[in-house]
Amino acid sequence: MSAGGARGELERVAHSIHRRGLTHGRTGNLAVRDGERILVTPTGVSLADIDGDSLSVLDADGRHVDGPAPTKEAFLHVAMLRVRPEANAVVHTHSVHSAALSVLDGLDPDAPLPPLTAYYGMRVGRLALLPYFAPGDPAATDAVEAASRSSHALLLRHHGPVVAGADLESALDALEELEHTAQIFFLTSGHRTSVLSDAQLAALAARDRSGKAAPR
């Protein structure tokens, strides 16, 4: 690891995401708060090659203030962090099963993925479905901000997931749970399935908030 602190953590998580097959090519991007500024992965760099000493630096309003040019999707991260003060990190990937889910017709915008597992209930909770915007289109900012006020996990139509968390590990945990549940969803397609009830989901959320949830 070439850097310490927030820079080193972003580098480590970026490499881990690529190693786990959650991205391909030069897709996917991450952001983390670092004091009053936001560190973002630069444009055109595979997550496998992220160097903590060569990150883009933005101010709280998303203006590029230092380092290489940021990913064209930096505005997604800035928008989520702006409306979720408890969040300090955002992870965005084009992971296969989540991206596949994003292209299905007839998805419920309030619940595009059924709550099939307990950990989905704890790590993701509510998944918000956003309409299609071209990658890098800042016109998506208002939609991202509106959806982020009620959910830390978003699914962009014909694109992929964006998840905020208290830190990069928490955001990645939730994103992986989303991807895993999407995979289960496709594996069980055409079969009768049961989903967690609202009462069960509420109990899981309360348990997770109290810190009594079983570790992964």
d(CA 216, CA 202): 19
The answer, as to whether pTM is greater than 0.85, is yes
d(CA 33, CA 39): 6
Note whether 90 and 162 are within 8 A (CB).
Answer: yes
Q: Which residues are catalytic?
A: 73, 119
pLDDT recorded at residue 140: 95
pLDDT recorded at residue 213: 43
pLDDT recorded at residue 144: 97
Tell me which residues of the chain have a pLDDT lower than 50: 1-2, 212-216
Which top CATH class is 5-209? alpha beta
What H or E segment, with its residue span, contains residue 178?
Answer: helix 168-187
Nearest to 163 by CA among 99, 93, 69: 93
- Tell me which amino acid residue 176 is: E
Note whether 22 and 183 are within 8 A (CB).
Answer: no
DSSP state for residue 26 in the 8-state scheme: T
R_g of the chain computed on alpha carbons: 17
